[in-house]
Amino acid sequence: MISIKNKEEIKNMRLAAGLLTKTFQYLRSYIRPGITTIKLDQLAEEMIRSEGGIPSFLGYHGYPSSICVSIDQEVVHGIPGDRALQEGTIVSIDIGVFLNGFHSDAAMSYGLGPLDPERRKLMNSTKTALHRGIKKCRTGNRLSDISHCIQSHVESQGFQVVRELVGHGIGRELHEEPQIPNFGSPHRGPKLKPGMTFAIEPMVNMGTPDVSILEDGWTVQTKDGLPSAHFEHTVLITDGKPEILTIGIENEPEEMHG
Ligand code: MF3
Ligand code: CO
Protein backbone atom coordinates (compact mmCIF):
# COMPACT_ATOMS: atom_id res chain seq x y z
CA MET A 1 0.00 0.00 0.00
CA ILE A 2 1.23 3.46 -0.85
CA SER A 3 0.63 5.82 2.08
CA ILE A 4 -1.23 9.08 1.46
CA LYS A 5 -0.16 11.88 3.77
CA ASN A 6 -2.74 14.25 5.21
CA LYS A 7 -2.19 17.98 5.80
CA GLU A 8 -0.62 17.51 9.20
CA GLU A 9 1.69 14.76 7.93
CA ILE A 10 2.72 16.88 4.97
CA LYS A 11 3.54 19.72 7.34
CA ASN A 12 5.91 17.41 9.19
CA MET A 13 7.42 16.09 5.96
CA ARG A 14 8.16 19.72 5.06
CA LEU A 15 9.85 20.28 8.42
CA ALA A 16 12.05 17.20 7.97
CA ALA A 17 12.89 18.32 4.43
CA GLY A 18 13.68 21.79 5.74
CA LEU A 19 16.24 20.47 8.21
CA LEU A 20 17.72 18.25 5.50
CA THR A 21 18.04 21.27 3.23
CA LYS A 22 19.70 23.25 5.99
CA THR A 23 22.16 20.39 6.53
CA PHE A 24 23.17 20.33 2.85
CA GLN A 25 23.61 24.09 2.85
CA TYR A 26 25.72 23.95 5.99
CA LEU A 27 27.93 21.22 4.51
CA ARG A 28 28.36 22.96 1.17
CA SER A 29 31.28 25.22 2.07
CA TYR A 30 33.18 22.26 3.55
CA ILE A 31 32.95 20.12 0.39
CA ARG A 32 36.47 20.91 -0.84
CA PRO A 33 39.57 18.91 -1.73
CA GLY A 34 41.42 17.95 1.46
CA ILE A 35 38.49 17.50 3.84
CA THR A 36 38.00 13.97 5.12
CA THR A 37 34.70 12.22 4.55
CA ILE A 38 34.36 11.50 8.29
CA LYS A 39 34.52 15.24 8.97
CA LEU A 40 31.58 15.78 6.62
CA ASP A 41 29.71 13.04 8.46
CA GLN A 42 30.37 14.71 11.84
CA LEU A 43 29.30 18.14 10.59
CA ALA A 44 26.07 16.75 9.14
CA GLU A 45 25.23 14.80 12.29
CA GLU A 46 25.85 17.87 14.47
CA MET A 47 23.56 20.03 12.36
CA ILE A 48 20.78 17.42 12.29
CA ARG A 49 20.89 16.83 16.04
CA SER A 50 21.20 20.52 16.91
CA GLU A 51 17.66 21.01 15.54
CA GLY A 52 16.19 17.92 17.19
CA GLY A 53 16.47 15.61 14.20
CA ILE A 54 18.00 12.14 13.91
CA PRO A 55 20.14 10.98 10.98
CA SER A 56 17.85 8.49 9.19
CA PHE A 57 20.69 6.31 7.92
CA LEU A 58 22.57 5.82 11.21
CA GLY A 59 21.91 2.23 12.28
CA TYR A 60 19.62 1.57 9.32
CA HIS A 61 20.16 -2.18 8.69
CA GLY A 62 23.38 -1.64 10.63
CA TYR A 63 24.68 1.26 8.49
CA PRO A 64 27.47 2.77 10.63
CA SER A 65 27.31 6.49 9.72
CA SER A 66 24.97 9.46 9.40
CA ILE A 67 25.59 10.17 5.71
CA CYS A 68 26.86 8.35 2.61
CA VAL A 69 29.82 9.79 0.71
CA SER A 70 30.51 8.02 -2.59
CA ILE A 71 33.47 9.08 -4.70
CA ASP A 72 33.84 8.69 -8.49
CA GLN A 73 33.39 4.97 -9.32
CA GLU A 74 31.46 4.53 -6.07
CA VAL A 75 27.75 4.69 -6.84
CA VAL A 76 26.10 4.96 -3.40
CA HIS A 77 26.44 3.96 0.27
CA GLY A 78 30.11 4.98 0.63
CA ILE A 79 30.98 4.91 4.35
CA PRO A 80 32.70 8.04 5.69
CA GLY A 81 36.27 7.51 6.90
CA ASP A 82 39.69 9.15 6.93
CA ARG A 83 39.86 9.51 3.14
CA ALA A 84 40.30 13.08 1.91
CA LEU A 85 38.37 14.52 -1.05
CA GLN A 86 40.44 15.01 -4.22
CA GLU A 87 40.27 17.44 -7.12
CA GLY A 88 38.84 16.21 -10.39
CA THR A 89 36.48 13.69 -8.80
CA ILE A 90 32.72 13.44 -8.40
CA VAL A 91 31.60 13.22 -4.78
CA SER A 92 28.02 12.12 -4.16
CA ILE A 93 26.54 12.96 -0.77
CA ASP A 94 23.34 11.29 0.41
CA ILE A 95 21.61 12.35 3.65
CA GLY A 96 18.41 11.36 5.43
CA VAL A 97 16.75 13.30 8.27
CA PHE A 98 14.09 12.04 10.69
CA LEU A 99 12.13 14.82 12.40
CA ASN A 100 8.63 14.97 13.95
CA GLY A 101 7.97 11.36 12.98
CA PHE A 102 8.86 11.70 9.30
CA HIS A 103 11.85 11.10 7.05
CA SER A 104 13.28 13.15 4.22
CA ASP A 105 15.98 11.85 1.87
CA ALA A 106 18.12 13.66 -0.71
CA ALA A 107 21.42 13.37 -2.55
CA MET A 108 23.64 15.60 -4.66
CA SER A 109 26.78 14.98 -6.67
CA TYR A 110 29.45 17.69 -6.60
CA GLY A 111 32.41 18.19 -8.90
CA LEU A 112 35.61 18.93 -7.00
CA GLY A 113 37.67 21.56 -8.78
CA PRO A 114 37.83 21.34 -12.56
CA LEU A 115 36.10 18.22 -13.88
CA ASP A 116 36.82 16.60 -17.22
CA PRO A 117 34.01 17.08 -19.78
CA GLU A 118 32.67 13.52 -19.53
CA ARG A 119 32.31 13.70 -15.76
CA ARG A 120 30.65 17.08 -16.07
CA LYS A 121 28.22 15.70 -18.66
CA LEU A 122 27.49 12.69 -16.44
CA MET A 123 26.57 14.96 -13.54
CA ASN A 124 24.41 17.25 -15.68
CA SER A 125 22.60 14.33 -17.32
CA THR A 126 21.84 12.69 -13.98
CA LYS A 127 20.45 15.90 -12.51
CA THR A 128 18.36 16.57 -15.62
CA ALA A 129 17.07 12.98 -15.58
CA LEU A 130 15.96 13.46 -11.97
CA HIS A 131 14.09 16.65 -12.83
CA ARG A 132 12.46 15.10 -15.89
CA GLY A 133 11.34 12.18 -13.73
CA ILE A 134 9.97 14.58 -11.13
CA LYS A 135 7.90 16.32 -13.82
CA LYS A 136 6.07 13.00 -14.26
CA CYS A 137 5.06 12.99 -10.57
CA ARG A 138 1.57 14.18 -11.38
CA THR A 139 -1.83 12.94 -10.31
CA GLY A 140 -3.20 10.51 -12.89
CA ASN A 141 0.19 9.44 -14.27
CA ARG A 142 1.37 5.94 -13.51
CA LEU A 143 4.44 5.07 -11.48
CA SER A 144 6.51 3.73 -14.37
CA ASP A 145 6.08 6.99 -16.30
CA ILE A 146 8.71 8.32 -13.88
CA SER A 147 10.99 5.32 -14.44
CA HIS A 148 10.71 5.39 -18.21
CA CYS A 149 11.35 9.10 -18.44
CA ILE A 150 14.54 8.87 -16.36
CA GLN A 151 15.91 5.94 -18.35
CA SER A 152 15.15 7.57 -21.71
CA HIS A 153 16.97 10.75 -20.84
CA VAL A 154 20.00 8.95 -19.40
CA GLU A 155 20.39 6.65 -22.39
CA SER A 156 19.91 9.53 -24.85
CA GLN A 157 23.03 11.03 -23.26
CA GLY A 158 25.02 7.80 -23.75
CA PHE A 159 24.93 6.74 -20.10
CA GLN A 160 23.31 3.88 -18.16
CA VAL A 161 21.03 3.69 -15.12
CA VAL A 162 21.86 1.28 -12.31
CA ARG A 163 19.23 -1.47 -12.10
CA GLU A 164 19.92 -2.92 -8.66
CA LEU A 165 18.98 0.19 -6.66
CA VAL A 166 15.72 2.12 -6.83
CA GLY A 167 13.86 5.16 -5.56
CA HIS A 168 11.09 4.66 -3.02
CA GLY A 169 8.09 5.95 -1.16
CA ILE A 170 9.03 7.86 1.99
CA GLY A 171 7.24 9.08 5.12
CA ARG A 172 7.04 7.51 8.56
CA GLU A 173 9.55 5.00 7.19
CA LEU A 174 12.66 5.83 5.20
CA HIS A 175 11.77 3.22 2.61
CA GLU A 176 8.06 2.77 1.94
CA GLU A 177 6.16 1.35 -0.99
CA PRO A 178 6.40 1.68 -3.89
CA GLN A 179 9.84 0.89 -5.25
CA ILE A 180 10.63 3.34 -8.04
CA PRO A 181 13.06 1.85 -10.58
CA ASN A 182 14.99 4.21 -12.83
CA PHE A 183 14.11 2.14 -15.88
CA GLY A 184 11.12 0.42 -17.48
CA SER A 185 8.24 0.74 -19.93
CA PRO A 186 5.81 3.63 -19.46
CA HIS A 187 2.16 3.56 -18.26
CA ARG A 188 2.56 0.66 -15.81
CA GLY A 189 1.98 0.37 -12.09
CA PRO A 190 -0.18 2.31 -9.65
CA LYS A 191 -1.74 5.66 -10.49
CA LEU A 192 -0.21 8.61 -8.70
CA LYS A 193 -2.38 10.48 -6.19
CA PRO A 194 -2.12 13.70 -4.17
CA GLY A 195 -0.44 13.15 -0.80
CA MET A 196 1.98 10.49 -2.01
CA THR A 197 5.60 11.31 -1.18
CA PHE A 198 8.46 9.80 -3.15
CA ALA A 199 12.24 9.79 -3.03
CA ILE A 200 13.28 9.80 -6.67
CA GLU A 201 16.95 8.92 -7.12
CA PRO A 202 18.63 8.08 -10.42
CA MET A 203 22.07 6.50 -10.10
CA VAL A 204 23.82 6.86 -13.44
CA ASN A 205 27.02 5.20 -14.68
CA MET A 206 29.33 6.46 -17.40
CA GLY A 207 30.04 2.91 -18.58
CA THR A 208 28.48 -0.41 -17.65
CA PRO A 209 25.32 -0.29 -15.55
CA ASP A 210 26.64 -3.24 -13.54
CA VAL A 211 27.70 -2.75 -9.95
CA SER A 212 29.31 -4.73 -7.15
CA ILE A 213 29.57 -4.33 -3.38
CA LEU A 214 32.89 -3.70 -1.62
CA GLU A 215 34.25 -5.85 1.21
CA ASP A 216 32.87 -3.31 3.71
CA GLY A 217 29.45 -4.76 2.87
CA TRP A 218 27.99 -1.36 1.91
CA THR A 219 29.83 0.60 -0.76
CA VAL A 220 28.30 0.03 -4.18
CA GLN A 221 30.75 0.61 -7.03
CA THR A 222 30.74 0.29 -10.81
CA LYS A 223 32.07 -3.00 -12.17
CA ASP A 224 34.22 -1.27 -14.79
CA GLY A 225 35.62 1.38 -12.43
CA LEU A 226 34.15 4.26 -14.45
CA PRO A 227 32.47 7.13 -12.58
CA SER A 228 28.87 7.34 -11.41
CA ALA A 229 26.58 10.18 -10.28
CA HIS A 230 23.55 10.31 -7.96
CA PHE A 231 20.90 12.97 -7.39
CA GLU A 232 17.84 12.54 -5.19
CA HIS A 233 14.90 14.63 -4.00
CA THR A 234 11.92 14.06 -1.73
CA VAL A 235 8.84 14.97 -3.76
CA LEU A 236 5.16 15.52 -2.84
CA ILE A 237 2.44 14.73 -5.37
CA THR A 238 -0.32 17.35 -5.40
CA ASP A 239 -3.41 18.29 -7.43
CA GLY A 240 -1.11 20.27 -9.69
CA LYS A 241 2.63 20.52 -10.10
CA PRO A 242 4.85 18.22 -8.00
CA GLU A 243 6.38 19.93 -4.99
CA ILE A 244 10.08 19.21 -4.47
CA LEU A 245 10.36 19.36 -0.68
CA THR A 246 14.18 19.34 -0.80
CA ILE A 247 14.66 21.76 -3.71
CA GLY A 248 16.70 24.12 -1.50
CA ILE A 249 19.68 21.74 -1.52
CA GLU A 250 20.39 22.97 -5.04
CA ASN A 251 20.79 26.61 -4.03
CA GLU A 252 24.48 27.23 -3.93
CA PRO A 253 26.74 30.09 -4.95
CA GLU A 254 27.43 29.96 -8.70
CA GLU A 255 31.25 29.88 -8.31
CA MET A 256 30.94 26.61 -6.41
CA HIS A 257 29.72 24.61 -9.39
CA GLY A 258 32.50 22.15 -10.19
N1 MF3 B 1 19.22 7.29 0.11
C2 MF3 B 1 19.59 5.94 0.39
C3 MF3 B 1 18.50 5.05 -0.05
O4 MF3 B 1 17.40 5.49 -0.20
C5 MF3 B 1 19.77 5.72 1.83
C6 MF3 B 1 20.95 4.97 2.19
S7 MF3 B 1 20.50 3.60 3.07
C8 MF3 B 1 21.66 3.47 4.29
O9 MF3 B 1 18.71 3.89 -0.27
F10 MF3 B 1 21.66 2.29 4.66
F11 MF3 B 1 22.83 3.85 3.84
F12 MF3 B 1 21.32 4.20 5.26
CO1 CO C 1 16.70 7.23 -1.00
pLDDT for 232-244, tens place per residue? 999 999 999 999 9
Give the per-residue pLDDT at 39: 98
Give the per-residue pLDDT at 91: 98
104 against 257, higher pLDDT: 104
Cα–Cα distance between 88 and 111 in angstroms, integer? 7
Q: Cβ contacts of residue 172 below 8 Å, gap of 6+?
A: 3, 101, 102, 103
Q: Is the pLDDT of residue 254 over 80?
A: no
pLDDT in tens, 207-228: 999 999 999 999 999 999 999 9
* Band of pLDDT at residue 257, cut at 50, 70 and 90: very low
164 lines ligand 1 (CB under 6 A): no
- Residue percentage of the chain with pLDDT more than 70: 98
Q: Which of 60, 92, 231 is the pocket-test mutation for ligand 1 (most atoms within 8 Å of CB)?
A: 60
For residue 163, the cross-strand partners are none
Expressed in angstroms and rounded, the spacing between residue 55 Cα and the centre of ligand 1 is 11
Give the per-residue pLDDT at 82: 98
Q: Where are the domains of the chain?
A: 7-256
What architecture does CATH give domain 7-256? Alpha-Beta Complex (3.90)
Q: Is the pLDDT of residue 193 over 90?
A: yes
Total-model pTM: 0.97
User: Which residue, among 115, 97, 91, has the nearest Cα to 56 in the 3D structure?
Assistant: 97
Expressed in angstroms and rounded, the spacing between residue 256 Cα and the centre of ligand 2 is 25
216 lines ligand 1 (CB under 6 A): no
pLDDT in tens, 78-111: 999 999 999 999 999 999 999 999 999 999 999 9
7 lines ligand 1 (CB under 6 A): no
Closest residue CA from atom 7 of ligand 1: 57
For residue 204, the cross-strand partners are 161, 229
The residue-averaged pLDDT of 146-174 equals 98
pLDDT in tens, 13-71: 999 999 999 999 999 999 999 999 999 999 999 999 999 999 999 999 999 999 999 99
Q: Which of 67, 76, 130, 182 is the pocket-test mutation for ligand 1 (most atoms within 8 Å of CB)?
A: 76
Decide: 85 and 112 in contact? Cβ < 8 Å. yes
Q: Is the pLDDT of residue 252 over 90?
A: no
The residue-averaged pLDDT of 174-191 equals 98
Integer CA distances (angstroms), 195 to 74, 90, 169, 223, in order:
33, 34, 11, 38
Instruction: Provide φ and ψ at 133, rounded to 5°.
Output: -60, -45
Give the per-residue pLDDT at 258: 43
Atom nearest to 63 CA in ligand 1: 10
Nearest ligand atom owner, CA of 78: 1
30 lines ligand 1 (CB under 6 A): no
Q: Which of 63, 97, 176, 177 is the pocket-test mutation for ligand 1 (most atoms within 8 Å of CB)?
A: 63
Instruction: Provide φ and ψ at 106, rounded to 5°.
Output: -155, 160
Expressed in angstroms and rounded, the spacing between residue 57 Cα and the centre of ligand 1 is 6
